[in-house]
């Protein structure tokens, strides 16, 4: 709960969320996380700590991974925001499901979105995903269930599946 950020006068915002244009009115410091979860009812993005330490609220803003609990909505006016509900995550989602990358599932949306950012980065760099690269990329996303082994395996499987496409 960070209701103190909601005190100021609302401003008008336009966001592209998962490809759809959303016009809304919100206090400028309202967290992007709350805008997504409460104002747009996209609850796939999770709050684990509210202060940028756990990675559960990771979303893509103009292609960059951001912690939506630390982003005031006024900073993303006009931006392209992608969440776990976006439809370009299927190969990663399938890999996590098939290879045991999701247990309790609460860190999973953030992990999958961060994996999207990592695989996109690999593609831009024309490099292959590696286990060490995946480790670095996911270092800000905490999971308490899996010991990460199967998450890292899921990332590599997803990379392979996307390359094969």
d(CA 27, CA 5): 7
Local structure of 122: helix, strand or coil: helix
Select 78 or 119, whichever has its Cβ closest to other proteins: 119
Q: By CB under 8 A, how many residues form the interface with other proteins?
A: 59
* CA neighbor of 134 nearest in space, from 146, 144, 121, 125: 121
Using the rule CB under 8 A, give the single segment among 8-16, 73-81, 116-124, 132-140 that binds other proteins: 132-140
Q: Does 140 bind other proteins (CB under 8 A)?
A: yes
Give the bridge partners for 61, in sequence order: 64, 81
User: Binding to other proteins (CB under 8 A): which residues in 12-41?
Assistant: 37, 41
Q: In what order do the strands lie in the sheet with 64-67?
A: 20-26, 11-17, 80-82, 58-61, 64-67
Tell me the closest approach of the beta carbon of residue 125 to other proteins, in angstroms: 19
Q: Binding mask 100-119 vs other proteins (x if CB under 8 A, - otherwise)?
A: xxxxxxxxxx--x-------
One residue of 79, 93, 117, 119 binding other proteins per CB under 8 A: 93
One residue of 53, 62, 64, 163 binding other proteins per CB under 8 A: 53
Residue 40: C-alpha distances to residues 49, 98, 154, 161 (Å): 21, 30, 29, 32
* CA neighbor of 58 nearest in space, from 42, 74, 46: 46
One residue of 19, 62, 63, 135 binding other proteins per CB under 8 A: 135
Q: Contact residues for other proteins (CB under 8 A)?
A: 1, 3-4, 6-7, 37, 41-51, 53-54, 56, 83-85, 89, 93-94, 96-109, 112, 134-136, 138-152
């Amino acid at each position: 709960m960070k209701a103190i950020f909601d005190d100021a006068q609302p401003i008008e915002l336009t966001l592209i969320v998962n490809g759809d244009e959303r016009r809304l009115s919100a206090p400028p410091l309202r967290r992007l996380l709350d805008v997504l979860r409460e104002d747009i009812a996209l609850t796939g993005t999770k709050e684990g700590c509210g202060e940028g330490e756990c990675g559960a609220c990771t979303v893509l803003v103009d292609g960059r991974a951001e912690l939506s609990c630390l982003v005031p909505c006024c900073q993303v006016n006009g931006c392209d925001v992608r969440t776990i509900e976006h439809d370009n995550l299927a190969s990663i989602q399938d890999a996590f499901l098939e290879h045991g990358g999701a247990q309790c599932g609460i860190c999973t949306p953030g992990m999958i979105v961060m994996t999207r950012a990592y695989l996109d980065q690999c593609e831009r760099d024309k490099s292959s995903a590696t286990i060490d690269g995946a480790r670095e990329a996911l270092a800000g996303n905490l999971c308490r269930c899996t010991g990460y082994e199967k998450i890292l395996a899921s990332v590599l499987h997803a990379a392979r599946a996307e390359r094969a496409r």
